[in-house]
């Protein structure tokens, strides 16, 4: 089995002129371990009943609303009546709905609710990839958040050892080593991601360099990285195991990413972002570490090294619980009382270190600092 593979009822046109567009979306959807299921209208039986049964058995419905008929007296087009019917059925059975609609298609009249929608242009599908993949990533996250079967852990991380280096005002290098163990038979993949959570123009988390190396694996197993989403705001990649791992099998791997330094470099820059309303936080602080513990983990180590002669102050650890980011006061207290966080200046370099034995699952561990005013740029 995959980490989790969801099934999506694919509501789409079967017209020959739409085949290339639909095939494109099938490949994109499958890349996120969402299996696009297309109903075979040649089956024997009442079509509406067969469609309903297939929708009920799926985890969600994804509609590809392409142009069908020109709407008289307007510049808009309608999509297939079947797509509207299938969306209504999915809504009736409380299935998550995601709609890709072609430019020019009028989707008013489809169910007005909180379903996800994304526009595309069939002449520029490649240039639309960033927003399409970001859209599918959010759908995947939503399906995971509502799937009760994901409460059973799929793997154990014996340790996460990460070291980040702010190389200059422009560059950041991140190196991580992980030893993991499968807790199930048939584990096909695991994943990593980083997301930019502020809207300051010109920032990016897109790697300028990405290297992966497997250090330990079961005999005869191929361990390879696969980048599923690589945009300015999101980098999401998977590690694929072929054949899938058996229960108890271990893999040790390391990866390095060199990316733009999206953190404010000086106190003045930090305050400017806050005043613009584009910064992730409302109070003056910079994030050195953010690790969300998705799987059971025995040990988390994170080290953040600053450039030579770069000065910081007000450094401290913090921990939040779940997506609501509630403050985990008891866990912060454990870190402080156990001396699990240190900040030291070694010669002319500051280093922040976090070492947490048995971090809690679904907790996010962070370290923060404040840069001094008018930092001198280092090369």
The pLDDT tens digits of the residues spanning 314-369 come to 999 999 987 667 788 889 999 999 999 999 998 999 999 999 999 998 899 999 99
**Residue of 341, 255, 351, 354 lying closest to 307 (CA atoms):** 351
pLDDT (0 to 100) of residue 181: 96
Could you tell me if 149 and 4 are in contact, meaning their C-beta atoms sit under 8 angstroms apart? yes
Instruction: Calculate what percentage of the chain has a pLDDT beyond 90.
Output: 53
Please tell me the distance from the alpha carbon of residue 95 to that of residue 90, in angstroms, as a whole number.
Answer: 5
pLDDT of residue 202: 93
Mean pLDDT of 77-83: 84
pLDDT of residue 229: 84
pLDDT at position 150 over 60: no
Query: Which pLDDT score, from 0 to 100, does residue 218 have?
Result: 97
Say which residues have a Cβ less than 8 Å from residue 64's Cβ, sequence separation at least 6: 10, 11, 12, 13, 18, 21, 22, 25, 83, 100
114, pLDDT greater than 60: no
**pLDDT: is 80 or 180 the higher one?**
180
HSE (CB half, 13 Å, CA atoms) of 3?
20
pLDDT at 377 over 60: no
Average pLDDT, the chain: 87
pLDDT computed for residue 153 by the predictor: 76
Closest residue by Cα to residue 302 from 313, 292, 314, 312 = 292
Whether 109 and 115 have beta carbons less than 8 Å apart is answered as: no
**Residues 6 or more apart whose Cβ sits within 8 Å of residue 237:** 191, 192, 193, 210, 225, 226, 227, 228, 229, 230
Angle at 370 between CA 368 and CA 375, to 5 degrees: 135
Give percent of the chain with pLDDT exceeding 70. Answer: 91
pLDDT of residue 294: 86
Which DSSP letter does residue 54 get? Answer: H
Q: Which residues pair with 64 in a beta bridge?
A: 100
Question: Could you tell me if 204 and 260 are in contact, meaning their C-beta atoms sit under 8 angstroms apart?
Answer: yes
**What is the enclosing helix (H) or strand (E) of 292?**
strand 286-292
Range with the largest mean pLDDT of 34-48, 273-287, 361-375:
273-287
Higher pLDDT, 225 or 76: 225
pLDDT tens by residue, 249-276: 999 999 999 999 999 999 999 999 999 9
Among 150-154, 211-215, 344-348, whose mean pLDDT is lowest?
Answer: 150-154
Q: Which of 136-140, 155-159, 182-186, 338-342 has the lowest mean pLDDT?
A: 136-140
With residue 331 as reference, give the H or E element that holds it. helix 329-337
Phi, psi (deg, nearest 5) at residue 294: -80, -40
The C-alpha R_g of the chain, in whole angstroms, comes to: 24
Helix axes 81-92, 47-57, angle to 10 degrees: 50
Strand 312-321 versus strand 326-327 pairing type: antiparallel
Please name the residues in contact with 134: beta carbons below 8 A apart, sequence gap of 6 or more: 229, 231, 233, 234
What stretches of 183-274 adopt beta strand conformation (E)? 187-195, 209-216, 222-230, 234-245, 250-260
Q: Quick one: pLDDT at residue 341?
A: 97
Please give the pLDDT value at position 378: 46
Sign of the torsion angle spanned by Cα atoms 14, 19, 21, 24 = positive
> Residue 319: what pLDDT?
94
Q: Could you give the domains of the chain? A: 6-149 (3.40.50.450), 153-371 (2.60.40)
Q: Which of 118-132, 266-280, 359-373 has the lowest mean pLDDT?
A: 118-132
């Amino acid at each position: 089995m995959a980490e989790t593979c969801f099934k999506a009822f694919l509501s789409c046109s079967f017209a020959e002129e739409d085949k290339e567009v639909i095939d494109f979306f099938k490949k994109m959807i499958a890349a996120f371990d969402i299996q696009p299921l297309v109903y075979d209208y040649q089956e024997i039986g009442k079509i509406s009943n067969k469609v309903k049964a297939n929708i009920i058995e799926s985890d969600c419905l994804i509609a590809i609303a392409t142009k069908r008929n020109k709407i008289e007296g307007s510049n808009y087009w309608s999509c297939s009546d079947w797509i509207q019917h299938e969306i209504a059925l999915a809504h009736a059975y409380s299935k998550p709905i995601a709609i890709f609609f072609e430019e020019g298609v009028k989707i008013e009249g489809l169910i007005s609710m909180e379903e996800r929608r994304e526009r595309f242009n069939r002449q520029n599908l490649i240039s639309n990839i960033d927003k399409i993949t970001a859209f599918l990533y959010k759908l995947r996250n939503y399906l995971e958040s509502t799937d009760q079967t994901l409460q059973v852990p799929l793997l154990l991380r014996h340790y996460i050892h990460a070291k980040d280096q702010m190389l200059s005002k422009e560059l950041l290098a991140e190196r991580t080593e992980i030893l993991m163990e499968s807790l199930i038979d048939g584990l096909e993949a695991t994943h990593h991601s980083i997301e930019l959570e502020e809207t300051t123009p010109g920032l990016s988390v897109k790697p300028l360099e990405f290297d992966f190396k497997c250090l330990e694996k079961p005999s005869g197993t191929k361990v390879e990285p696969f980048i599923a989403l690589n945009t300015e705001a999101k980098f999401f990649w998977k590690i694929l195991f072929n054949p899938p791992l058996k229960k108890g099998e271990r893999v040790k791997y390391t990866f390095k990413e060199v990316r733009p330094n999206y953190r404010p470099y000086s106190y003045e820059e930090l305050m400017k972002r806050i005043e613009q309303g584009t910064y992730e936080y409302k109070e003056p602080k910079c994030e050195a570490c953010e690790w969300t513990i998705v799987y059971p983990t025995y040990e988390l180590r994170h080290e953040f090294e600053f450039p030579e002669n770069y000065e910081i102050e007000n450094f401290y650890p913090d921990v939040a619980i779940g997506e609501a980011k509630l403050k985990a006061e008891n866990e912060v207290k454990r870190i402080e009382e156990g001396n699990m966080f240190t900040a030291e200046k070694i010669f002319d370099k500051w280093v922040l270190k976090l070492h947490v034995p048995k971090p809690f699952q679904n907790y996010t561990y962070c370290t923060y600092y404040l840069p001094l005013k008018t930092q001198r740029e280092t090369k």
